[in-house]
Amino acid sequence: MTDGSATAFVPGHVTAFFSPELDDDPTKAGARGAGITLSDGVTVRVAPGQGLELDGEPVSVEAVDTVRSALRIEARIEATTKLPLGAGFGVSGALALGTAIAANRAFDLRLSANELVTIAHGAEVRAGTGLGDVVAQAQGGIPIRLEPGAPPHGLLDGVSDRGRVEYITFGELSTEAILDDGTDHLAAAGRRALSWVVDEPTLPTLLRAGRGFARETDLLTDRVYQAIEAVSEAGGEASMAMLGETVVALETGLSEAGFEPSSCAIHQPGAIIEE
35: number of CA atoms within 13 Å, CB side?
36
Residue pair 148/131 in contact (Cβ under 8 Å)? The answer is: yes
Contacts of a second copy in 143-202 (CB under 8 A): 144, 146, 151-152, 155, 157-162, 198, 200-202
H or E stretch at 203? helix 203-216
- For helices 113-127 and 91-106, the axis angle rounded to 10 degrees is 140
- Does residue number 268 form part of the binding site for a second copy (CB under 8 A)? yes
- For helices 203-216 and 222-233, the axis angle rounded to 10 degrees is 140
Please, which residue, 144 or 257, has the CB nearer to a second copy? 144
User: CA geometry: angle at 181 spanning 175 and 183, to 5°?
Assistant: 85
Please, which residue, 26 or 140, has the CB nearer to a second copy? 140
Rounded Cα–Cα distance for residues 93 and 133 (Å): 6
- Does residue number 111 form part of the binding site for a second copy (CB under 8 A)? yes
Please, which residue, 64 or 102, has the CB nearer to a second copy? 102
Please, which residue, 87 or 101, has the CB nearer to a second copy? 101
Please, which residue, 93 or 244, has the CB nearer to a second copy? 93
* Closest approach of a second copy to the CB of residue 92, in Å: 20
Say whether 67 sits in a helix, a strand or coil.
helix
* Closest approach of a second copy to the CB of residue 103, in Å: 10
**CA proximity to 245, closest of 185, 194, 175:** 175
- Does residue number 33 form part of the binding site for a second copy (CB under 8 A)? no
Say whether 42 sits in a helix, a strand or coil.
strand
Amino acid at 197: V
Rounded Cα–Cα distance for residues 270 and 37 (Å): 8
* Closest approach of a second copy to the CB of residue 41, in Å: 14
* Closest approach of a second copy to the CB of residue 160, in Å: 5
Q: Which of 26, 41, 141, 261 binds a second copy (CB under 8 A)?
A: 141
* Closest approach of a second copy to the CB of residue 157, in Å: 4
Please, which residue, 15 or 205, has the CB nearer to a second copy? 205
Say whether 72 sits in a helix, a strand or coil.
coil
Please, which residue, 87 or 153, has the CB nearer to a second copy? 153
* Closest approach of a second copy to the CB of residue 237, in Å: 16
- Does residue number 27 form part of the binding site for a second copy (CB under 8 A)? no
- Does residue number 251 form part of the binding site for a second copy (CB under 8 A)? no
**CA proximity to 221, closest of 38, 92, 88:** 88
Rounded Cα–Cα distance for residues 262 and 152 (Å): 35
- Residues that bind a second copy in the complex, under the rule CB under 8 A: 101, 104-105, 110-116, 140-141, 144, 146, 151-152, 155, 157-162, 198, 200-202, 268-270, 272-274
